[in-house]
Amino acid sequence: MLVKVCGMADSRNMLQVAALKPDMLGFVFYPASPRYAGYLPEKEVKTLDEDILRVAVFVNEEADKMEHTACRYGISVLQLHGNETPDLCREMRMRGFKVIKALGVETAGDFRMLPVYEKSCDWFLFDTKSKKYGGTGQKFSWSLLRAYRGELPFLLSGGIGVEDVERIEEVKENEKFAGVDLNSRFEKVPGVKDTGLLIRFMEKLKH
């Protein structure tokens, strides 16, 4: 199961979290976000452990700008959190990136739009639906995941905390479940993660 820690925005904290060996680290390049990563030193991100996939999060950004930013930071995975089309997702894959397409979930009907993205992306990310871009820090009803019958693996996001490990075990019943996206419930302040909480969560997962 993949563990993605998203919203890294502090150099020292980024290195502390990277030392825990998560599978993915996420960096938000949406200027309106309180976790905006555009001030991080490029070299520090580029020289992180090669076993950690670096993920750049964008919202309705132009293809050239996404590629330019990702290349500056040595990032190989793009997470698209806006209204990006399947054609744009496909173009970014053709440019050599893996693509995560985020989808806000409120009802089982929200999964109906996914087939058009299946040949354009590598993963879906299911988060709680919101009128704003980005995460809400709240869970949607995970029972809705039973309605997902797609071909692509998915990451689960939205208000996940240390206390949710047992419930995550139940989500594993869906064979397309690939991992979790951790953010606000593991923070001291936006962009700075509590490594103690992350350690507790990752140890509970192992056991």
What amino acid is encoded at 62 in this protein?
E
Is 89 annotated in the active site? no
Is 6 annotated in the active site? yes
6, 89, 121, 164: the catalytic one is 6
Q: Which two tokens stand for residue 178?
A: 């690939």
Measure Cα distances from 20 to 52, 54, 95, 128 in Å.
10, 14, 30, 27
Q: Compute how many other C-beta atoms are within 10 angstroms of the C-beta atom of residue 193.
A: 27
Round to whole Å and give the CA distance between 22 and 20.
6
Round to whole Å and give the CA distance between 88 and 83.
10
Residue 30 is given by DSSP the state: -
183 alpha carbon, distance to own chain's centre: 9
Round to whole Å and give the CA distance between 151 and 65.
29
Q: At 80, phi and psi to the nearest 5? A: -105, 115
10, 89, 121, 127: the catalytic one is 127
Round to whole Å and give the CA distance between 144 and 152.
16
Residues forming the active site: 6, 127
